[in-house]
Structure 1
Amino acid sequence: MGKRLYRILGKLLYVALFVTIQVAALIVMFLFFRDQFAYFYIVCMLLSLGASIHILNNTTSNPAYKIAWLIPILLFPIFGGLLYLLFGKYRMTRKQRAASRAIREQITSIMEPEHAAMEGLGLQVPDAAIQVRYLLRASGSPPSGHTQTEYLPIGETFFAALLRELEKAESFIFLEYFIVEEGTMWNTILEILERKIKQGVEVRLMYDDLGCLLTLPRHYDRQLREKGLQVCVFNPFNSILSPRFNNRDHRKICIIDGKTGFTGGINLADEYINAYAKHGHWKDTGVCLRGSAVWGMTVQYLALWGFASGRVDAFSHYRPTIGWAESIPHDGVVLPYTDLPLDDELVGETAYLNLIHRAKKYVYITTPYLIIDNEMMTSLCTAAKAGIDVRIITPHIPDKKTVFFLTRSYYAPLQKAGVHIYEYTPGFIHAKTMVCDDEYAIVGTINLDYRSLYLHVEDAVWMYRSSAVHDVKKDFLQTQAVSQEMHPEDLGRIGWLKQIWLGILHAFAPLV
């Protein structure tokens, strides 16, 4: 434990050192130009003006996100523009755009024949067909019928199912996680992976560098490569401050032989299986797919791997024999999809909004964070005012106190409209689910906050009339039974100092 902590602290100090050096360089530059302050001031003002014009001209950006950047630029015109250059919206380089185009062309050529499958899925219900067509065009992944869905209502169940399926691997195992941490969960999985590599199974792992900043030692990828794993560290820290560090890989995916796929809110760390109580009882969920829908997940995985690593694979090499899933009975319609922050298409938020807008009876939601934009707020309030039973479960024990304080500030307008909000009193709920009218459900990695909806790489599974839909609803009601419904009086009065702090947080919520 001591050695591990030492290695992690070393990694953190490395990051802090280079950030400090760059900040110090900016201060030195300012001091150097103080004798020519008038010229320096003009340059900075022009930079801030250019940044402001760029922000205002961005027609695809959320208004709240624009305001969050315009405020510091107006308050601190000398440094505001520079801050936006360093931490604002990231644009791909020419090389990245070329790689992205090549990957998209490959996806289109591979997946286009799959699009015809939609006609044979019995999507006569217009509301369902509209949602499928949107996800098909926005993410490129087709709907599938020959797919079994297994909803996994807690981390311990997810872990057991994951180990069971990993043991069955014969061809390849693809893993992609925001957080990987040495401990009971990861070490058990790694033991299986090492054994499978010796059996000739191809094993890949992609993890987010920032997500693993405090959980893995520096150069951990080298250790894994020595064991035979192919490793891609997503968006690694390269010592230079850049807007691209806002864009993290928040997906949690495991694909086995292209036939079985897992996703959900569960990372590969011990708190997710309640091996220890980090914030009380950790409530999280996932879903396991078996069947033709896993091909869509495989393509999404290989696409991001190609973008992040610069190595584009022949996707078809990882496709199971055509027709292998025909023996799997239909279990409704299943469509796994992904949301990328660089294409300005808000797939994750739109998928949620499509469910809310088409609800006839109820919408039940679980999310660890509730920091929403005006469109989501309006949609939830409008649904509740129209008589739809809208319920949301959030944590009672926070993992981030400031974010928890901000989450609670969104309760009042929702409650006033008739939305019922509950807090999971046993601990922290990290599940990201939405279920609607006993017909639709979404399970994935997408939180109801700006970072998930605007900045991160995310994924989820949309399900229509699948057996898992009823399981998601059942789990929600069981979770609600051990949760406390929140009322305005439960939160007490907010003093004027906290109101000021809350106003600041709301202004910068898109950046939190």
Structure 2
Amino acid sequence: MENEEKMGLQLLKKGQKGLIHALFSRLGLFILLLALQVLALFSVFRWFEGILPHILGGTALYTIGMVLYLLNSRLDPTAKITWLIIVMLFPVFGAILYWFTTCDIGHKAIKERTGQISRLAKDRIVQDPAVQDRLEKLDPGAASLARYLRRNACHPVHENTAVTYFPFGQDKWEEMLRQLEQAQNFIFLEYFIIDEGLMWGRILEILARKAREGVDVRVMYDGTCEFSTLPHSYPKKLQELGIRCKMFAPVIPLVSTHYNYRDHRKILVIDGHTAFTGGVNLADEYINHIEKYGYWKDTAVMLKGDAAKSFTLLFLQMWSIDEKEPAFDLFLSVPVSAPEHSAGFVLPYGDCPLDEDHVGERVYMDILNRAQHYVHIMSPYLILDGEMETALKFAAERGVDVKLILPGVPDKIAPYALAKTHYASLLSSGVKIYEYTPGFVHAKVFISDGREGVVGTINLDYRSLYHHFECAAWMYGVPCLADMEQDFQATLEKCRAVTPETIKKEKWTLKVMGWLFKAVAPLM
């Protein structure tokens, strides 16, 4: 009984999880279609020998048409090359794969609705011109980034916000519990992964109690949880506790692809004045209660003050996708008092994969392009397009100290092998790369010149930069930037440096795997 109380509220019986994780990813589909094409070619050669020239001629014309279409598409150059290779090698099934993964199958309604919601959300939080002017006088380059985010991500830059940085998931969790206990009006949670255990059990215990007390408690999680951690009936179980719950975009086999347009965000908002974001999901490995891939290194921030309202709006935008009238004003009109120790500027922002504006990537590239002394980065993955790789290399070639901390223990072998294919090129330009030896790095952190930083959910890979709903907090001149840099340096002490010699010593199997996956990197 004592152990159950410690674990918090558990709704599932031991062993009761979601369906076995299905391979509805684009990579899984690619492998399936490749096998089908080989089988189809064998059948054609065996049974249709008489009309084989006509079939090959038709296939050649179709392939030429697809190549011309791809060359004139608006895909980024790296993705174009990948699709050209796939379509030329496997014409029929390559084309099927392309249309299946790029035509928003199962997501057209969401695409239209997110556009409508974005227009409704615009200017809901008005930019204080005095704040923008103060940033302009302090740093015109940073102010230009704030203007871009205001225009394209619909969120203003704020003052009067105290930021607390958490160097590990367990630090964030402990503070989450304290802040949740103080909730009086509403609690909004939006997470990519929720899994029953100690972390979620203790949180859920508070949520259920707060719901009974009349607090408006809402939980939203991504539909892939149904295939990995939670059963289809889980929203109903939460609703029985008085908690409003939605599952974003449930995966529908043969209609949805597993990795397309997932809600990768991690947001907690309490009463409109306190917000959390970062890499930490609601599962026990994120707080090192259980070990999956060595010691789990993750980070998060807590915002108290004006900027928390932007996370309220970000949550409500996703929550309102299936509702007729978003209740923005009801929650955004809540007064927020200025906290102590709130120097600097904070700008929360989101990134939507259903438009053509890759906000997350542009913020990272802008920081790299404006840096004068250093850019220090932590990311779990390194699957780069040409533009991002060029930005990293160009910054280093300008004399900027560019350091990357990546996992020493991977969670997935394919992305790990792919990351290593970038090492030699980056090192040749002066980028310094380190691998975290105690375990897995899941943090998404940028720190530049001691004055600017980002903490959020956005990885340095195609899925985050192009295919997921994401969020982050951009910060300028806030005191916690010193804590972020201190944590980076402390983490660096637990890393091994990547050098040309260590690259040569890598296992040949890992190198071959990286070379093979490189051709289909945008699909991962």
**What TM-score do you get using the length of structure 1 for normalisation?**
0.90
| Displacement after TM superposition at 1:7 (Å) | 4.1
Amino acid at match of 2:400: I
**Distance of 1:276 and 1:79 partners within structure 2:** 42
2:111–2:354 contact (8 Å) kept in structure 1: no
1:57 aligns to 2:72 (yes or no): yes
Tell me the equivalent position of 2:481: 469
CA shift in 2, pair 1:207/1:54, >3 Å:
farther
Tell me the equivalent position of 1:5: 15
| CA deviation map 1:489-509 (0-9, x unaligned) | 123346777655432211111
Q: What is the aligned counterpart of 1:435 among 422, 436, 447?
A: 447
CA shift in 2, pair 1:438/1:89, >3 Å:
farther
1:397 aligns to 2:409 (yes or no): yes
2:455 alignment partner, SS class = strand
Q: What is the aligned counterpart of 2:504 among 492, 501, 505?
A: 492
CA shift in 2, pair 1:253/1:41, >3 Å:
farther
CA shift in 2, pair 1:187/1:15, >3 Å:
farther
Q: Matches of residues 226-375 of structure 1 in structure 2 within 5 Å?
A: 226-242=240-256, 245-307=259-321, 309-322=322-335, 324-326=336-338, 328=340, 330-375=342-387
CA shift in 2, pair 1:312/1:470, >3 Å:
farther
CA shift in 2, pair 1:57/1:5, >3 Å:
farther
CA shift in 2, pair 1:87/1:302, >3 Å:
same
Amino acid at match of 2:70: I
1:254–1:263 contact (8 Å) kept in structure 2: yes
**Distance of 1:255 and 1:45 partners within structure 2:** 55
1:133 aligns to 2:168 (yes or no): no
Tell me the equivalent position of 2:96: 82
1:305–1:311 contact (8 Å) kept in structure 2: no
Amino acid at match of 1:321: V
| CA deviation map 1:201-222 (0-9, x unaligned) | 1111111122552111232222
Unaligned runs of 5+ in 1: none
What percent identity do the matched residue pairs reach?
A: 39
1:114 alignment partner, SS class = coil
| Displacement after TM superposition at 1:479 (Å) | 0.6
**Distance of 1:443 and 1:151 partners within structure 2:** 9
1:399–1:428 contact (8 Å) kept in structure 2: yes
**Distance of 2:115 and 2:359 partners within structure 1:** 19
1:7–1:218 contact (8 Å) kept in structure 2: no
**What TM-score do you get using the length of structure 2 for normalisation?**
0.88
| CA deviation map 1:347-391 (0-9, x unaligned) | 111101111111111111111111112112112112212211111
1:422–1:480 contact (8 Å) kept in structure 2: yes
Aligned residues: 504
1:362–1:389 contact (8 Å) kept in structure 2: yes
CA shift in 2, pair 1:89/1:387, >3 Å:
farther
| CA deviation map 1:88-109 (0-9, x unaligned) | 3527866445423431222124
Q: What is the aligned counterpart of 1:452 among 461, 464, 468?
A: 464
**Distance of 2:163 and 2:427 partners within structure 1:** 33
1:45–1:78 contact (8 Å) kept in structure 2: no
| Displacement after TM superposition at 1:310 (Å) | 4.2
Deviates more, 1:208-217 or 1:154-163: 208-217
**Distance of 1:396 and 1:446 partners within structure 2:** 19
1:366–1:431 contact (8 Å) kept in structure 2: yes
| Displacement after TM superposition at 1:294 (Å) | 1.0
Deviates more, 1:148-157 or 1:309-318: 309-318
Amino acid at match of 1:5: G
CA shift in 2, pair 1:80/1:146, >3 Å:
same
Tell me the equivalent position of 2:207: 193
1:160 alignment partner, SS class = helix
CA shift in 2, pair 1:225/1:252, >3 Å:
same
CA shift in 2, pair 1:320/1:440, >3 Å:
same
